[in-house]
A and B are shown apart, each in its own frame.
Chain A
Amino acid sequence: MTLHDSILSGDRRALARLITKIENDQPESRAALAALYPRGGRAQVIGVTGAPGTGKSTLVSEMAKAYRRAAKTVAIIAVDPTSPFTGGAILGDRIRMRDLSGDDGVFIRSMATRGSLGGLARATDEVVAVVDAAGFDVIMIETVGAGQSEVDIARLAHTTLVVEAPGLGDDVQAIKAGILEIADVLVLNKADLPGAEAATRALRGMLMLAHTQWDVPICETVAAEGKGVAEVIAAIDRHRNYLLQNDGMIQRERDRVRRQLENLARDLLYSRFIAAKRDEVDAAIEAVASRQRDPYSVVDELLK
């Protein structure tokens, strides 16, 4: 049986193996991806982002339990950063997901960013595609907890949750561009802590200034106790229905595919370019580094 047939028949080990091959960009992963891609498109894809320590992993774990109670299967892709200095990584999101262990309906995979910026791992799109084809009902992607720029998740997920917690900053933080603008649902976790009311007020004030058709809800949760999780899931479902009724789903999918094709084409063109012109590039690096040439005209010349 081929790797992709095993995955379609529910073999978890085959799925785990293919994810590794995709992460390592091994040639055989392309064929499996090509075979699996048409089988996907059914899963509900949820992104969860927010600053470190806001409780993303705990929230994801509690949401997974709620989806399991509703008899939905869940895949979790948890991304943590790769050290830019050593290439190593510590992937620690499973620590908060131990309650999910032993449930056949849950598959958790930790991924390191491997140099990708934007809060996701380089191969996250592809991994979502195979997990989708493997038949999971819900896919949750937990981003790196970096803070203000991991907007890639909004292009990949159908619904993006931004998780905040009290005491992380004043209302100027809340109106900065970026992370809050990608929220389809805002979650104020640790809502039992002092300052929760003020934080919710600041978030609400910020949302009132936003000009979006979709009215972004704010959900207060205490994820460690499971409080408010049902409301988060209800808000996600409302957003999904909103997208389905307004052609938003197909529009999001088109945007996602456009970006994916751009990235794939860019990577492929770049690797062909480097393979064909390695010596010229090396010479150009020397010329620019010693200021004999400038990078702009050098690139023009290399691409002629």
Chain B
Amino acid sequence: MTTSPIRVLVAKPGLDGHDRGAKVIARALRDAGMEVIYTGLRQTPEMIAEAALQEDVDVVGLSILSGAHNALVPKVMDLLKGKGLNDVRVFLGGIVPDEDIPPLKALGVADVFGPGTSTDVIVESIRKTIRK
């Protein structure tokens, strides 16, 4: 048996208390055959990076609706690198203004998904990035 499902950590950093979107994504990724570790609301970047290490995930999916992505995402990326998790790919979903996207991608964010993105597009993007 050499089944190796893609492992994804779905996390909500920051203080916004609304995780319907993150749960919809978690469900869609599960239905696409991935193993989704769902960590719940109000995660600090430190909690996310530590969970990514312990769970040995391929992907971290961040859901941020508060507008704090420019503060939170670089912090998460730094901590992941600090733990040697350079091969973990980070995806961002939420309300992100267009002009913020290029600098986030320059930091190494694999893809950014705004409101209304079809879950198929997200699944496809993750599969293409991880190519398992």
Name A's B-contacting residues (CB within 8 A).
12-13, 16-17, 19-20, 23-26, 82-83, 86-92, 94-95, 98, 101-102, 107-110, 112, 114
Contacts and interface: CB of A to CB of B under 8 A. Distances in A.
B32 A86 contact: yes
Nearest to B84: A13
A94 B85 CA distance: 20
A114 B83 CA distance: 28
A108 B35 contact: no
Contact of B37 (A12, A101, A102, A110): A110
Chain A contact surface mostly: mixed
A92 B5 CA distance: 17
A88 B51 contact: no
Contact of A102 (B39, B40, B47): B47
A87 B5 contact: yes
Contacts of B85: 13
B106 interface: no
A88 B36 contact: yes
26 contacts: A12-B54, A13-B53, A13-B84, A13-B85, A16-B53, A16-B55, A16-B56, A20-B7, A24-B4, A82-B35, A87-B5, A87-B33, A88-B5, A88-B36, A90-B27, A91-B35, A91-B37, A92-B38, A94-B38, A98-B39, A98-B43, A101-B50, A108-B51, A109-B54, A110-B55, A114-B3
A109 B32 CA distance: 22
A23 B36 CA distance: 15
A89 B39 contact: no
The 9 residue pairs across chains A and B that have the minimum distance between CB atoms = A88-B30, A95-B40, A16-B56, A24-B4, A101-B47, A87-B33, A20-B56, A88-B33, A91-B37
Contact of A24 (B2, B29, B46, B83): B2
A90 B30 contact: yes
Contact of B38 (A16, A25, A90): A90
Contacts of A23: 4
Contacts of B4: 20, 23-24, 26
Interface residues of B, number: 33
Interface of B: 1-5, 7, 26-27, 29-40, 43-44, 46-47, 50-51, 53-56, 83-85
Contact of B33 (A16, A86, A94): A86
Given A25-B2, A102-B47, A114-B3, A91 B36 contact: yes
A94 B51 contact: yes
A83 B54 contact: no
B2 A26 contact: yes
B46 A102 contact: yes
A68 to B, nearest CB: 15
Contacts of B27: 90
A107 B29 CA distance: 25
B25 to A, nearest CB: 11
Contacts of B83: 13
A109 B50 CA distance: 11
Contact of B39 (A16, A17, A95): A95
A35 to B, nearest CB: 19
A87 B53 contact: no
Contacts of A17: 56
A82 B31 CA distance: 10
A248 B83 CA distance: 42
B31 A86 contact: yes
A88 B38 contact: no
Contact of B30 (A83, A94, A107): A83
B32 A88 contact: yes
B55 to A, nearest CB: 6
Q: Which of B37, B46, B50 has the most CB of A within 10 A?
A: B37
Nearest to A122: B1
